[in-house]
């Protein structure tokens, strides 16, 4: 299973990094707009949103729009191989942290919180809601502690027929892509 996940991660990362920047930007824009016009986003008061890294679907417009609408926005920060969640008051607070991912500063207070929506990154998803992350189990451990609708963001090519999965993996409720919204089947 580990080797299968590793090969899949490497292949998807290669494909994403080969995508021309203009195509990446266009697909991200369409995806963000699809999410921002969704009933889930419109009705949400609080969101946990990742800061995009290494060709993950972009989230800056989601974060800015949510803050402009007065929604409570939280962003993850890595501390001691765990993710903690910090309230964000401006995009200017974000700076490269663990693994080069933009995150709130070390002095930002970590909060346990229930969220209306948790926007989850992933390298691959399947229609049953399984997710393949970058490895390490950071998000799976975090998602087990938090309540809220789990929404994966992905480009169409990242939604596969099946994703290798294990019992500890946390399923997504929905996946937003640049062309569709997938209602995940819970098995």
- Confidence band for 186, pLDDT divided at 50, 70 and 90: low
Q: Select the more confidently predicted residue: 19 or 105.
A: 19
Write down all domains in the chain, each with its CATH number in brackets.
2-183 (3.40.50.10420)
The pair of three-digit structure tokens given for residue 126, joined into one six-digit string: 């399947």
- pLDDT tens readout for residues 44-97: 999 999 988 888 999 999 999 999 999 999 988 877 777 788 888 888 888 787
Q: What pLDDT does residue 36 have?
A: 97
Q: What pLDDT does residue 187 have?
A: 46
In this structure, is the dihedral angle defined by the CA atoms of residues 133, 83, 120 and 101, taken in order, positive or negative? negative
Specify whether the backbone of 168 is left (phi greater than 0), alpha (psi in -120 to 50) or beta. alpha
Give the CA angle between residues 123, 141, 160 to the nearest 5°.
Answer: 25
Q: Answer yes or no: are the C-beta atoms of 152 and 59 closer than 8 Å.
A: no
DSSP letters, 164-184, are ---TTPPPPSEEE-SS-EEEP
- What percent of the chain is modeled with pLDDT above 90? 52
Would you say residue 181 has pLDDT above 70? yes
- pLDDT tens readout for residues 25-34: 999 999 999 9
DSSP label at 127? T
């Amino acid at each position: 299973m580990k080797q299968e996940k590793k090969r899949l991660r490497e292949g998807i990362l290669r494909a994403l990094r080969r995508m021309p920047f203009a195509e990446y930007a266009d697909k991200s824009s369409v995806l963000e707009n699809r999410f921002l016009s969704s009933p889930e986003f419109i009705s949400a008061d609080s969101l946990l949103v990742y800061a995009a890294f290494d060709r993950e679907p972009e989230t800056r417009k989601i974060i800015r729009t949510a803050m402009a609408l007065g929604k409570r926005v939280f962003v993850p920060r890595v501390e001691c191989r765990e993710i903690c969640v910090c309230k964000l008051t401006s995009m200017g607070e974000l700076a490269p942290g663990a693994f080069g991912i933009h995150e709130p500063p070390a002095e930002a207070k970590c909060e346990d919180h229930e969220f209306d929506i948790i926007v989850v990154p992933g390298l691959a998803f399947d229609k049953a809601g399984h997710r393949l992350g970058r490895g390490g189990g950071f998000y799976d451990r975090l998602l087990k502690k938090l309540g809220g609708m789990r929404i994966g963001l992905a480009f169409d090519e990242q939604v596969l027929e099946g994703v290798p999965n294990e019992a500890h993996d946390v399923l997504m409720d929905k996946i937003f892509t640049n062309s569709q919204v997938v209602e995940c089947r819970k098995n």
